[in-house]
Amino acid sequence: MAEFPIRKIAVVTEEIFHEGGPPPEEPRRRAAAMAVVKNPFAGRYVERLQAAMDDLKPLGLLLSDRLIDALGGDPKRIDGYGKGAICGTAGELEHCALWHVPGGYAMRDRLGGAKAIVPSATKVGAFGSRIDIPLGHVDAAYVRSHFDAMEVGLADGPRPDEIVFILAMAIGPRVHNRMGGLAADEIKAWDGLR
């Protein structure tokens, strides 16, 4: 069993009122939850990492719950999501990849079984690094109106032996989206799930 003690959790929220054009009826809302944790694999090569994903499942659920609360408490309104991780310089990208299952499945669970793949980004970075977390529609990856990214990071992390695990959620499409493609109200059970 790997341990990932939490040093810090931060939640960032945004309301987007316009992008230079007319304001929408309701602003777009985005939020990201970040947990800075100790990396138990820092500074050494470990062949078998996959079992540690189970140890991160509670953190995925905790961050998902924090995001839902930050966006008003109604998971049915949330229609965009993404995830990512920044590993400190004593770690490696595979340590970030531990987040794929516990982060993605936690959001799907809390959002009532969202179907689309959860977009993801990872990197190894120094203290204060930032990352663009890609966002996509929760039920169909091909809904262009929800293609977006949210830049996040923390001034005091990750330290070399830490990982910043990140989840992000959104309500509504990009403000002023007009690139066509599959519309959110046209999603069927098989649309966009390839």
Could you report the per-residue pLDDT of 85-127, keeping only the tens digit for each?
A: 999 999 999 999 999 999 999 999 999 989 899 999 999 999 9
Which of 37-41, 138-142, 188-192 is predicted most confidently? 37-41
pLDDT of residue 149: 97
The yes-or-no verdict on residue 178 having pLDDT over 90 is: no
Q: Which CATH architecture has domain 6-17+25-170?
A: 2-Layer Sandwich (3.30)
Q: What is the pLDDT of residues 68-91, one digit of tens each?
A: 999 999 999 999 999 999 999 999
Q: What percent of the chain has pLDDT over 90?
A: 80
pLDDT of residue 192: 63
Of the candidates 127, 138, 129, 125, the residue with the CA atom closest to the CA atom of residue 167: 138
The yes-or-no verdict on residue 132 having pLDDT over 90 is: yes
pLDDT of residue 23: 86
Least confident range from 50-64, 69-83, 180-194: namely 180-194
The yes-or-no verdict on residue 150 having pLDDT over 80 is: yes
Q: What is the pTM of this model?
A: 0.95
Q: Enumerate the domain spans of the chain.
A: 6-17+25-170
Q: Give me the DSSP letters along 104-169.
A: HHHHHHHTTS--S---EEEEE--TT-EEEEEEEESS-TT-GGG-EEEEEE-TT---TTEEEEEEEE
**Omega of the bond leading into 158 within 30 degrees of 0 (cis):** yes
The yes-or-no verdict on residue 140 having pLDDT over 80 is: yes
